[in-house]
Amino acid sequence: MKRKILIYLKYSGLLILLVGLFAFARKRNDQRKISKVHVEFVEEQNPYVNELAVNKLLIQNQGRVTNVGKEILVLNTVEQELDSHKMIEHSDVYLTVSGELKARIKQRTPIARVDAVTSFYVDVTGGVMPLSDSYSAHVPLVQNVSEQEISEVFPLLKEIQKDEFFKKHVVSISQTTKGNYELRFRVYDFRIVVGEVENLKNKFRNFKAFYQKALRDQTLNGYKSVSLQFSNQVVCTIK
């Protein structure tokens, strides 16, 4: 009986010791100062927001992030501050065991630039984002379109973004009359009359078939406009 009591006391003492060591280590870890901030941009993107701007966001409402006790840093709050930035789509902020604060940043991706009194980008979701001080995106210029009309023209912008041929060649999109659009290519000076934003896949497919034939015939420089408005037809106006 004595032996059982001794064994029980032994294991109880060992358990208390382990709990104490764990609590001590955790307290020391919580009190450890954040020694370094590391910013990582996920995916290969142009720098619409730079590391300096992210660091400013990390510290603006938290005092100094470095040399601050970990227990007073609320990571969710830091993420919310980053996600509120108009150039950032999503962020993930976490602490390493060595006291390093890491922020993984996914930037928003612009697909067009709208020419307005105050110009702005349209991103892949159809949202409006401001121009960047760090980088100018090489995207098509949209003209004669207001911010209120972005949702109307967005399907056209998205289709251009998804189609490698049009993404490579289109430099501008203009609204000619209400709800009707035309495109301009980088090399050739003819207008591509899309008309209303409907049946875009079919219109683009028809144009590419025309383009390949005209390229072989070396007639592309002879056109003033190419209209895709009519069903399964490409109607050209010669200069």
Output the pLDDT for position 82: 86
Output the pLDDT for position 144: 96
Residue 87's φ and ψ, nearest 5 degrees, are -100, -5
* pLDDT > 80? residue 113: yes
pLDDT in tens, 42-94: 876 677 887 777 777 776 655 545 555 555 456 777 788 888 888 888 888 88
Helix/strand/coil for 35: coil
Boundaries of every domain in the chain? 36-107, 110-238
Output the pLDDT for position 231: 79
Output the pLDDT for position 76: 78
pLDDT in tens, 163-215: 999 999 999 999 999 999 999 999 898 999 999 999 999 999 999 999 999 99
Residue 229's φ and ψ, nearest 5 degrees, are -75, -25
What is the third-level CATH fold of 36-107? Answer: Ubiquitin-like (UB roll) (3.10.20)
| pLDDT band (50, 70, 90) for residue 97 | confident
* pLDDT > 70? residue 223: yes
Residues 6+ apart with CB under 8 A from 79: 91, 92, 93
* pLDDT > 70? residue 34: no
**Tokens (6 digits) for 193:** 């009359």
Question: pTM here?
Answer: 0.75
Output the pLDDT for position 33: 59
Mean per-residue pLDDT for 128-139? 89
Output the pLDDT for position 29: 47
Please, are residues 226 and 192 in contact by the beta-carbon 8 Å criterion? Answer: yes
What is the third-level CATH fold of 110-238? Answer: Rossmann fold (3.40.50)
> Mean pLDDT for the chain?
81
Residues 6+ apart with CB under 8 A from 142: 112, 113, 114, 115, 122, 153, 157, 172, 173, 174
Nearest in space to 227 (alpha carbons), one of 174, 199, 190, 197: 190
Q: Is 182 exposed, middle or buried (0-12, 13-18, 19+ CB in 10 A)?
A: buried
| pLDDT band (50, 70, 90) for residue 5 | low
Output the pLDDT for position 73: 57
